[in-house]
Structure 1
Amino acid sequence: MYNTMEDKLLGPEKECVMDLKGRVWIESKKLWIVSTPAIITRLTSFGILVTTQSFMGHIGETELAAYAIIQIIFIRFANGILLGMASALETLCGQAFGAQHYHMMGIYLQRSWLVLLASATILVPVFIFTSPILRLIGQEEELSAVAGNISIWFIPIIYYFVFSFTMQMYLQAQQKNMIIGWLSSISFVVHLTLSWLFVYKLNLGIPGAMGAMIISTWSMVIGELIYVFGGWCPETWSGFSMHAFADIWPVVKLSVSSGVMLCLELWYNAVLVLLAGYMKNATIAIAAFSICLNITAWEIMIPLGFLSGACVRVANELGNGDAEAAKFAVKVNLCTSMFIGVLFSVLFLVFGHVLSYAFTSSSEVARAVSSLSTLLALSILLNSIQPVLTGVAIGAGWQSVVAYVNLGCYYIVGIPIGVLLAYVAKLDVRGIWIGMMCGVALQTLVLLWITWKTDWNSQVEKASQRLNRWFLAPSHGNDENT
């Protein structure tokens, strides 16, 4: 009922606006249900690695440098492979949940465990032979020896990645990942407590710092397994099944394409840090660049949470057969992440000159970081868009396409531009940073174009074909729709 002539004339438009607000509100709630625990989990999990580095710094400078090299090169290498391969599970579980093929999610989880456990085992020799590898690339003998000692302690962490990544993706696909947020937060507190006890009080050195990391991370995995095996996922987990060994090859192919996609992205920054090491005054260059990367690494945990949200929402709606809902989820997610990105960009522009003192007491390094504050702010803005688009790609199952996009944008465009600007144009670290941004900007534009031009109805059909091809009828006593 309209009270005025104006209300009467504008009534349909007002109803449309109210309807849009309602849809945005409903979609935002669905988004934050997935994204909030994902953000908490990523912040605390990354925090465990960073705080361990801090405790290593109190053991000794060589230990700190050795740990930093392992984290930047070897752990990033392993993390990229395993997290990328695990993202195949995001596609499968998200679409299966949307299609109400609930019992298949447990089977997909077990198949992913098999593939990732095999991959992790293949990676173990890299951590066993870390010292010879570092000597081969010209690192100092003392640093290589200490790094080899530390890297052995990382082997249990590699297997932690297998279960942590897959369990997170399995639970968030069914919107039950709040438990992971709680467990991750608890493990972070446990890690801080144990690190303080082992390193400061008991003076256990490297075994104390790394032992604290192993205990805290695996306590989280044990909690997740208890949650799943204990009956809190009755629709999606009905026990171990021999069906997990069937149709492994398609899962391997999707996992490999997912791994390549994410590896090319995660290794990009590592390559740029290595390039900075060949500059004049390399110590200052690497310190300033690594501080900026640490700042962006902390902030990007928020967009990576939205990556999870985008993946789950797109996969759920495609599995449910609703193309319009999938498109709307992409729009809401992008707008939300961009708003937060703009906010953080402004903050870093305003406080860029003081941020570095949280990481260093050197005024020379602080000035170098301050000179990069504008580029840092622009990077943060780009990082608010790009992960969401990657999440959309994972949710829709475009991993192989994005792998080619990443290869072209990062390694054919971004790194060469960075090298030219740094060494030919003499822009030093700023040149490398600009090259990095050019690669990310181009990748963002390409993914935006792909997302914009996508026929979402055909994506629904492809999701349906994938799910039907791998579908197995539920066993007796297990109704997939209960």
Structure 2
Amino acid sequence: MTTGKHQPLLSGETHRKTDDVEINGIKDYCKEFYLESKRLWYLAGPAIFASLCQYTIGATTQVFAGKLGTIQLAAVSVENTVIAGFSYSILFGMGSALETLCGQAYGAEKFEMLGIYLQKSLIILNTAAIGLTFTFIFGVSVLKLLGQTTTISVAAGTFAVWMIPQLFAYATMIPVSKFLQAQSKVMPMALIALVAVVSHVFLSWLLIVKLGWGLVGAAVVLDGSWWFITLGQVGYVLWGSCGQAWSGFSWNAFSNLKGFLHISLTTMIMFCLESWYVMSLVLLAGHFENAEVSVDALSVCINILGWAGMVALGLNVAASVRVSNELGLGRPKTVRLSVIVVALTALLIGILFATVLLVYRKQYPAFFTNSQEVMQLVDELTLLLGTLVVINNVQYALSGVAIGAGLQSAVAYMNIGSYFLVGIPISILLGFKFDMRVKGIWYGLVSGSSMQCFMLLLMVSRIDWNEEANVSGDRIKQWGCDIGMKDDVADANNY
């Protein structure tokens, strides 16, 4: 099978073929599975690398802040986790609407629509960022309301004010990233992230340690690193590297913002419910006796889950791009193959991670804590942690499939049912009623995620991909605008 120009070209593939994949026998299936795996990793590899670099930027700042003192470390950690984390989850969720729209439009060769969608998303996310600035400005009061001590609240709240520029970097970078991902332009993003993380480490040492700027230096470097990534990606787009996908700014971006806002909000709900679910379980752990050990053990496990999640996030991005591109092109059989490949890949990677955790269950907790009590509890939770890594990997991959197909609303409802009607009640019941403490919390987390994964599997297995390919053009028109679409939707459906 050869690829279209909307796909990454593989070795030996040099021209376009719009026919859907045809598989006759095991030999054909193995060949197509191999080619689809290469396309998947062409997208997922750089996406994983870029995510790890961006994750490292925040972690590096916390390391250098720790050299200043415990209060400074707490200030950076709390601001990054609570205030910035809350805003990022909202903006990331809203910006992920572009994975559906840009991906399907690019597959259908409605290239002029991508720039319109990008501008719509920039308008919506930067407007949302203006509203979110109040959580930064009044960070001290917000943190006190959440139960933080006055000392930590004041330090983190002051640091949050310095981090307002980062908020608008998020609001600009996220849509541009999704815009580039839809076109499989992931390698430039990875290279920009690499330069950013290397310079971030050096500048953090220079301003925080060498010049003694303290938290002000940490804020300046962190803001600067995120804006470097943002301007690097924007510059890549404006340089003309995206062809017809970017033809300049247009007033058409202001048309039908209400329709575009709808999918942005449903995607936001889908992402936020999951992150808030985990956050709520950490807060629950703080109500046990000897809460410090419980929270620390849960935090170590969630930290491990976060690093594993970078790989899962890359698969999520790759799945959404492959599915949306192929639906836009009108190739349902290729979509089915893509879904199978990404699901099996996610499952195997999850099993690999879980195996490593189980083999080194006595050793890895020492990298995070010196407390024997915490290490013992983490050891006891490792089997559940490994199980959750496997489940989350598959779940993230299937969520990417759902985003590529434009089914965010259905997934949002699943999240509500799985996490807040199953996961949290089980955590409370087992943790408090049956006195299982943090183990009960973790059983609830696994139960909620298992339910979500099962429902996603059920939904994906029942999707009529022929029908989804037929309605992809209508979906683009409904959630975007009518520019260039009056006669094109019918053309897209006839591929």
Q: TM-score normalised by the shorter chain: which range applies?
A: over 0.9
**How do residues 409-428 of structure 1 correspond to structure 2 at under 5 angstroms?**
409-428=418-437
Establish whether residue 249 from structure 1 lines up as the match of residue 255 from structure 2.
Answer: no
Give the corresponding residue for 1:401: 410
Instruction: Answer with 339-348 or 368-377: which moved more.
Output: 368-377
Aligned-pair CA distance for 1:473: 2.6
Establish whether residue 58 from structure 1 lines up as the match of residue 67 from structure 2.
Answer: yes
Aligned-pair CA distance for 1:63: 2.1
- Whole-Å separation in 1 of the counterparts to 2:401 and 2:214: 43
Establish whether residue 392 from structure 1 lines up as the match of residue 401 from structure 2.
Answer: yes
Match of 2:128 among 109, 113, 119: 119
Aligned-pair CA distance for 1:170: 0.6
Establish whether residue 318 from structure 1 lines up as the match of residue 333 from structure 2.
Answer: no
Establish whether residue 199 from structure 1 lines up as the match of residue 204 from structure 2.
Answer: no
1:297-336, Cα deviation, whole Å (9 max, x unpaired):
0111101100001100110111111111111110001111
**How do residues 220-235 of structure 1 correspond to structure 2 at under 5 angstroms?**
220-235=229-244
**How do residues 22-101 of structure 1 correspond to structure 2 at under 5 angstroms?**
22-101=31-110
- Whole-Å separation in 2 of the counterparts to 1:139 and 1:29: 47
Aligned-pair CA distance for 1:159: 1.2
The answer to whether the 8 Å contact 2:354/2:390 transfers is: yes
Establish whether residue 365 from structure 1 lines up as the match of residue 380 from structure 2.
Answer: no
- Whole-Å separation in 1 of the counterparts to 2:470 and 2:315: 25
1:139-182, Cα deviation, whole Å (9 max, x unpaired):
22111111111111221111111122111111111111110011
Establish whether residue 453 from structure 1 lines up as the match of residue 462 from structure 2.
Answer: yes
Q: Give the secondary-structure state (helix, strand or coil) at the position aligned to 1:288.
A: helix
Instruction: Answer with 62-71 or 223-232: which moved more.
Output: 62-71
- Whole-Å separation in 1 of the counterparts to 2:103 and 2:318: 11
1:355-375, Cα deviation, whole Å (9 max, x unpaired):
122122222222222121111
Aligned-pair CA distance for 1:286: 1.2
Give the corresponding residue for 1:7: none
Write the letter of the residue equivalent to 1:440: S
TM-score between both structures, scaled by the size of structure 2: 0.91
- Whole-Å separation in 2 of the counterparts to 1:432 and 1:75: 25
Give the corresponding residue for 2:300: 291
Q: 1:72 to 1:272 in 2, by over 3 A?
A: farther
1:56-85, Cα deviation, whole Å (9 max, x unpaired):
222111222233222332222212111110
The answer to whether the 8 Å contact 1:353/1:373 transfers is: no
Give the corresponding residue for 2:291: 282
Structure 2 gap ranges (5+): 1-22, 486-490
Instruction: Answer with 352-361 or 257-266: which moved more.
Output: 352-361
**How do residues 93-242 of structure 1 correspond to structure 2 at under 5 angstroms?**
93-242=102-251
Aligned-pair CA distance for 1:15: 6.7
- Whole-Å separation in 2 of the counterparts to 1:230 and 1:138: 48
1:9-61, Cα deviation, whole Å (9 max, x unpaired):
xxxxx972221121112211211121111101111111111221222222111
Aligned-pair CA distance for 1:423: 1.1
Instruction: Answer with 135-144 or 268-277: which moved more.
Output: 135-144
Match of 1:440 among 430, 449, 466: 449
Aligned-pair CA distance for 1:112: 0.5
Give the corresponding residue for 1:464: 473
Write the letter of the residue equivalent to 2:31: G
Establish whether residue 338 from structure 1 lines up as the match of residue 347 from structure 2.
Answer: yes
The answer to whether the 8 Å contact 1:303/1:384 transfers is: yes
Aligned-pair CA distance for 1:263: 0.5
- Whole-Å separation in 2 of the counterparts to 1:96 and 1:134: 42
- Whole-Å separation in 2 of the counterparts to 1:150 and 1:369: 32
Q: CA RMSD in A?
A: 1.7
- Whole-Å separation in 2 of the counterparts to 1:467 and 1:139: 45
- Whole-Å separation in 1 of the counterparts to 2:147 and 2:335: 50
Q: Give the secondary-structure state (helix, strand or coil) at the position aligned to 2:248.
A: coil
Give the corresponding residue for 1:348: 357
Identity score, percent: 39
Q: Give the secondary-structure state (helix, strand or coil) at the position aligned to 2:96.
A: helix
Q: Give the secondary-structure state (helix, strand or coil) at the position aligned to 1:280.
A: coil
The answer to whether the 8 Å contact 1:72/1:270 transfers is: no
- Whole-Å separation in 1 of the counterparts to 2:152 and 2:40: 45
Q: Give the secondary-structure state (helix, strand or coil) at the position aligned to 2:243.
A: coil
- Whole-Å separation in 2 of the counterparts to 1:369 and 1:154: 33
Aligned-pair CA distance for 1:438: 0.5
- Whole-Å separation in 2 of the counterparts to 1:354 and 1:209: 32
Aligned-pair CA distance for 1:205: 1.1
Aligned-pair CA distance for 1:137: 3.3
The answer to whether the 8 Å contact 2:79/2:157 transfers is: no
Structure 1 gap ranges (5+): 1-13, 475-479
> How many residues in Structure 1 have an aligned counterpart in Structure 2?
463
The answer to whether the 8 Å contact 1:338/1:381 transfers is: yes
1:208-263, Cα deviation, whole Å (9 max, x unpaired):
12211111111111111111101111121111111111121111011011111110
Match of 2:25 among 16, 33, 43: 16
The answer to whether the 8 Å contact 1:134/1:144 transfers is: yes
TM-score between both structures, scaled by the size of structure 1: 0.93
